[in-house]
Every structure is written in structure tokens, then in C-alpha cells.
């Protein structure tokens, strides 16, 4: 399922053709999970975590280019991993993350499949993120505090007893 699919094409095409002010308002409502026009869970089909993070990323962009439209119609699921995580900063496990960033969770022991990224979320300020389809790292677009979800043991980060790196996309 792509971000814009047959199920939501009218709604999202209209939204992405609207002015930046309209998209930014929708973005800000979704950051707070109070939108009544668009539902992350309902309007993005099965609610894939990478698609949800990409959707939020494009809502905040001042201009939607032809390249952006192509990506929205043709990238899906794990296609977004190479789009967002080829340029990133690493989270140190304590610092605030700026609101409006696509966040990737990387297993450094698995660099073979999908660059080792197993989940994407969207930062909402501080150390909190929203996401779908992960129990402890964000589910149902509920907020999660990464300080609670990820263990920081002497500067090394762990999730489910496995090492994890948290990517902050530079896109």
C-alpha cells in the first residue's frame, strides 16, 4: 500500500494540492492526534509505520514537488527506508528530538535487510514519538516516550534486550 492509494486518493490528492497553510494545520492536528478530517489509522490503509511517518513528513513540506508526488504514489512500506535513512543523525538516548522528524529504529546486528531499520515513527517533541504497528515504539498513533521504551545502559541503547540505534532523518 502506498501513502496515496485507491482507497484514499480523493482525500489525499486534495490535501496535498491544498496550500501549505492547510497541510501544516492538518500536520499540527495530527501531531496532537485530534484531527477529524484525516485518520492515520483509517486513511493510510493498513497503517504501515513507514507510510504514516512519510505522510506526516510530506504534510509539513512547504512545497510538494513532482518528485514528492511520485514518491507518495509509488513508495510504500520499506521503500521509505532508503528514502529517509541514507542521511541521518543518531539520537544519543537522552536529548530532545525536534518535533516533525522521521525517526528510524535500526538493529545494528542486521544490516542486510532494509538497512537494518525495523520501524519508523514521527517525533512530536521532547523524546516523544507517534507511530503505528509497534507495541512499545508506537501503536495506534498514540504517543510514546522513548526514554521509557528504550533502555539506556551506560550510553548504549537497547530495545527488547537487543542493541538499537535511533536514526533522526535529515530529510
pLDDT tens-digit series, residues 45-80: 456 899 899 999 999 999 999 998 888 888 888 899
> Which carries the bigger pLDDT value, residue 41 or residue 59?
59
Half-sphere exposure of 37 (CA within 13 A, CB side): 13
| CA proximity to 2, closest of 37, 40, 48 | 48
Ordered alpha helix ranges (H), 32-162: 40-43, 49-60, 66-74, 79-84, 146-149
pTM: 0.90
Sequence ranges of the domains in the chain: 9-80, 87-169
Amino acid at each position: 500500500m502506498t501513502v496515496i492509494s485507491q482507497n484514499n486518493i480523493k482525500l489525499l490528492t486534495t490535501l496535498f494540492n491544498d496550500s501549505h497553510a492547510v497541510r501544516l494545520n492538518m500536520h499540527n492536528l495530527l501531531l496532537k492526534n485530534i484531527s477529524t478530517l484525516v485518520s492515520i489509522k483509517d486513511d493510510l490503509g493498513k497503517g504501515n509505520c513507514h507510510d504514516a511517518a512519510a505522510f506526516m513528513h510530506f504534510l509539513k513540506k512547504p512545497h510538494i514537488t513532482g518528485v514528492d508526488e511520485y514518491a507518495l504514489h509509488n513508495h510504500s512500506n520499506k521503500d521509505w527506508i532508503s528514502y529517509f535513512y541514507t542521511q541521518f543523525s543518531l539520537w544519543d538516548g537522552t536529548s530532545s528530538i525536534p518535533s516533525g522528524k522521521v525517526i528510524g529504529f535500526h538493529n545494528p546486528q542486521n544490516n542486510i535487510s532494509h538497512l537494518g531499520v525495523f520501524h519508523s515513527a514521527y517525533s512530536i517533541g521532547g523524546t516523544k514519538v507517534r507511530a503505528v504497528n509497534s507495541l512499545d515504539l508506537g501503536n495506534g498513533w498514540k504517543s510514546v516516550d522513548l526514554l521509557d521504551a528504550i533502555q539506556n545502559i551506560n550510553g548504549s541503547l537497547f530495545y527488547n534486550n537487543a542493541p538499537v540505534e535511533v536514526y533522526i532523518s535529515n530529510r
